[in-house]
Amino acid sequence: MLGVFKNGLVSAPKELNSPSSSFHQHEEDQDQHPLKHFLKSYTNAFSISFGNDVSLAFDPSSQVPLPQQRLFCSMDDIYCIFLGGLNNLCTLNKQYGLTKVANEPMFVIQAYKTLRDRGPYPAHSVLKELDGSFGFILYDVKSKTVFVSLGANGEVKLFWGIAADGSVVISDNLVAIKSSCSKSFAPFPTGCMYHTEGGLISFEHPKKKMKAISRVDSEGVMCGATFKVDMYSKTQTMPRVGSEANWVTWGV
């Protein structure tokens, strides 16, 4: 799966940008665009774009055994690509009023809508309830909101990086990430979520700050930093104001 986000929809931490990247080389080679590379790598893949802001791509033929199955769903102008599987999906569907046949991305969309519109709980409380291996990218067209999360057990891998034109690229395809982001990429941190309003946060330790860890590749070149929970820190809490604050005050 692949998500390409422009125009500040995803504000990646500055530490993800490597000082060693030679972006001008990628600007001259249009084949290195992440979407083009992804579609070239998977002959059965399809993509959907929303103006110049967002592109999503998905390969429906890549339905390998769990925990790496890939699923796509769209509902009410919300699009979700899901990688992995949830062991307690039936229980979650019942809890959120979905039918037994609803799959993982259907559940993620419904959970997102509940939190966005009237959720009594912060997002990290919902993500902690997910039992399984998962990673997903969600885009809400109407609110131009991006929501990304990766499970804590490490069985599913996601990567994110900054492309030549400043776009943020998120994918499980490391080759597509490297070709478009040069050295400005890193693994997406496990047990974490990213939201357009709230930024990067650990859903396991929502009251702790994330800290950047310098990363050097096998050639000794500085790459984009990885991010881990700073267990000795504590985020500042903010008062809730209305239902929209469910997304802003992650750890409250």
Q: Work out the pLDDT band at 237, boundaries 50, 70, 90.
A: low
Give the mean model confidence (pLDDT) for residues 43-59: 91
pLDDT for position 239: 43
Least confident of 58-67, 83-92, 168-177, 204-213: 58-67
CB atoms near residue 147 (< 10 Å): 25
The string of pLDDT tens digits covering residues 173-202 is 998 899 889 999 999 999 999 999 889 999
pLDDT in tens, 3-26: 999 978 899 999 999 887 654 444
Q: What is the mean pLDDT of residues 38-66?
A: 83
State pLDDT tens for residues 141-168.
999 999 999 999 999 999 999 998 899 9
Which pLDDT does position 105 carry in this prediction?
A: 97
Task: Give the pair of three-digit tokens for residue 198.
Answer: 């709230």
Return the H-helix or E-strand segment holding 82.
strand 78-86
Bridge partners, residue 58, by sequence? 46
Q: Which of 30-39, 43-52, 115-124, 163-172 has the lowest mean pLDDT?
A: 30-39
Nearest to 139 by CA among 63, 75, 59: 75
- Determine the pLDDT at residue 245: 47
Average pLDDT, the chain: 85
pLDDT at position 111 over 50 = yes
pLDDT over threshold 70, residue 44: yes
Which pLDDT does position 30 carry in this prediction? Answer: 41
Q: Where are the alpha helices (DSSP H) in 17-122?
A: 23-28, 34-41, 89-95, 104-118
Comparing 241 with 34, which gets the higher pLDDT?
A: 34
pLDDT over 70, % of the chain: 85
Mean pLDDT, residues 73-92 taken together: 96
pLDDT at residue 243 tops 50: no
Residue 240 or residue 7, greater confidence: 7
What are the tokens at 100? Answer: 């037994």
Question: Quick one: what percent of the chain has pLDDT higher than 90?
Answer: 61
Give the separation between CA 239 and CA 226, rounded to whole angstroms: 30
Structure tokens at 132: 């399984």
Q: pLDDT value at position 24?
A: 40
